[in-house]
Every structure is written in structure tokens, then in C-alpha cells.
Structure 1
Amino acid sequence: MLLAFLRKNQLDSAAYFLSKAKSDTTNRSAEGKAAILLAEAQFKIQSGAYTEAEHLLLETWELIRKNNVTVNAAAGLMAPDYVFAQLRIKQGRLNEAIDLLKQDIVRLLNNRVEILRDYRLMAELYAKTGNAKQAAETYAIFLAKQDSLLADQEKYRSISFEAEQQMSAKEIAISKLENESRVATLMRNFLIGIAVLLLLLAAGFYQRFRYKKKANTLLETTLANLK
């Protein structure tokens, strides 16, 4: 939420959430502290408090190095050199900003979207410093990496679609098997019911036969006695 307000340059809202984050005692890990320091540094840059921002960024780096905080931390992406570059841009120190972006690219590892962001900004800075050759080369790298990322995203979307199709086919097959199993169960129960009914009917007929036979025997005995 805090970073979202900073991106929108809504500093009053950002200040409120920054204050809440700093007063929150539930997250006192090195990662959590570094994330808050980094956000506060961004806030100070956008507020024009460049000296305070620099101190906060130095403190962030000290905390990261001391605690070996990785770039992909649980508290968020830890890329202080990108924020440092933003500070140097505000200060008009563009060459230093370019060097910071190069360092940031190394730290970012496989965070491809953020690496693209850095290359694009670096190309713009080279152009502003009058280094057209480096600007063109850097922008070419940006375009190549962007094309690669888009191609991979398209490939993953295709794989995801195929996986969904396969899952759908499997679900249909499973549903069909379940339906067939239900039909088989119903048929078996029906046949068992018919068999039980036939047994009951047979038992009834047998009982009637025995009763009738017994009655006939009794009648014959009675008639014989009368003679």
C-alpha cells in the first residue's frame, strides 16, 4: 500500500502508511527494517529531502550487508541501488546514477522486469549525458531482453493453456468413469434387488405350497377317519 502511494506521488497517504509501518512492532526482522528504510528513502526523495534520503539508503545497505539480506526477500524486493540512482538523478549526478543502475542489474539476478526497467532508464540517462553510442547500445540490450521476456511469457501462457486443456480432458475422463461407476453400481443394486424379490416370491410360493399340501393331507386324513 505504501509503495503504491509513493508510485502515485500521493505523499500524504504515503506518510500515513509509512508512520504505521515504522510503529509496527510485529516485524522487526532485518528484512522488515530494510524494507521500511528503503520505502522511507523513496519518500524522502519524492519530498525533496535528499540528504535524509542518502542517509537512509546508506543505512539500508549497511543492514543488508550485515544480515546478508537477499534481493528476493520476504519483505519485498531489496534493490537500494535503484533508489540510490533515483536520488542521483534528482541531484543531477547522472553518471553516478548510471553506475548505480549497473550495480543494481548485477544484484537483481533473475528479476527480469526490474532489469528491463534499469536498462531502459540507463539508456535514457546515457542520452541525457550526450553519450549517444552507449544510449543506443543500452537501448538495444533493453529491446532484446524485452523481446526475450515477452516470448517466454507467451510460451508459458501456451504451456499453461495446454496444461489447462489436459486437466480439463482428465477431469472429463474422471467424470465419465465416475458416471460409469455410478451406473454399474445402480445396475448391480437393481439386479440384487430383483434377485432378492425373486427369492422372496419363491419363498412365498414354497410356503403356500407347503400349507396347501398340509391342508390336503389333513383333509384326506379326516375323510379317511369318517369312513
Structure 2
Amino acid sequence: MNLSSRIFCFSLVLLALSPVPRLQAGSPDYQPELFKSTKLVYADTFDGPLNTDFWEVRQNTTWTIKDGVLTGSPSSKEFQEKKKASDDPSHAGLKPVIWLKKVPENFVCTMRVRYDGKAYTKGSPLLDIGHHIHTISFSEKATTLTIKKNVETLPLEHPLFALNQWHNVAIELKKGTLLLMIDGKKHIFHSENIDMTGQAQIDFKALDFGTCQIDDVKLWEGQ
């Protein structure tokens, strides 16, 4: 075997032994559809402590970073019992809740997300694009966009978000239009009620007694 053949065979062995890169929603290959250009605001692969300039833990739920993943679980039993006995039982921290802050009015956000739970029997996991403004809730058979709680409800059969597995998610929003992509399947919502004016956050809310995992977040301002 000549030297060139040996080098070629050695390269094949290295390629076979190399780990397969995981598909990242925040890949630099992602091309926005609603904007001609974007400006990166924030990116995180959770290799260090939680960046509290961009994240706010809610309802005393538990959020930790382990193996490069931000993981949320319910609040402590003591906190839950205290809240249940108060005049604010709906915020007892039964589900993990966290806010991504400093979200621009016109934005693109890509990420990997996973909601774990036994079944869709303890409510619906969701993403709030703006606090209770554009609520994207997930069920076994439908994904539903509810705007401002009851102003408009737009259910669709695809894309779906299954429990207990990772999903690559992309969201783009500008006034009048919201693009949602899950694992490469997308839907574009059009409505005069889609508007992030005065809003600057994305809320992650899991199932009651479930968990939430977040990784590979990238946030851009759309221009």
C-alpha cells in the first residue's frame, strides 16, 4: 500500500471514530425568513453558570446546569404547600418556569428544548412569546397559538412537539407575523394581533411535576 492509500485509510478511521455532531437549532446555517439581516443579541450553550442578565427563574422552581444543559424541575414541597395555603396557589411552582429576557421586539430565536412528563394529562407545556401575549401550547395532536389569552386562537396539526424528546425550535416574530419551526417543519401565523411592543421575554413552562431542558440558545434582533 502506497503512502497516499495509507493516509486515505487513516482518514476514514478517524472519521468513523469521530462523534456525530448533534443537530442544533442555533446552527449558523439557520437562515431567517422574516428578516433580511439580523444582529446577535445572546448565545449560550450552558457551559458555565446561569447568565442572570438574560434568565429569570420564576415561582421558586429549581434550575441547574449540568453537562451543558439548563434543566428545570418543580419547586420544593415546602414552597408548594406554603403557596397552596396562600391567596396565590396558582404560582406554587408545580411546573418549572423560567423567563428568557431582553428579547427584541423583532427577533429570531433558535434553541433545543425538551419537556418531560408522563403524558399530556397535567396541562400543556408551552412557550409564551411575550408574557401571556402569544402563547404556543403543545398537545399530543395539535399545536395552538393563543393571542392575548382569548383574543384569537389558532390551532394547527403541524408542527407537533412530542414529550420526552429533544426538539430543534426556531421562532421568528415581527409585527403581524410569527414563524414557528419544530424539527424543520414550520408554520407561519399571520394576524394583526401579533405584536411584541412592550414585551421583552420568552417564558418556558413545563407540565405539572415535569421537567424542562434547554440548550443551544441563540437570540437575534431582526432588521
Task: Give TM class, smaller chain.
Answer: under 0.3
Greater share of helix: 1
Q: Between the two structures, name the one with larger relative contact order (CA 8 Å, sep ≥ 6).
A: 2
Q: Which has the larger radius of gyration?
A: 1
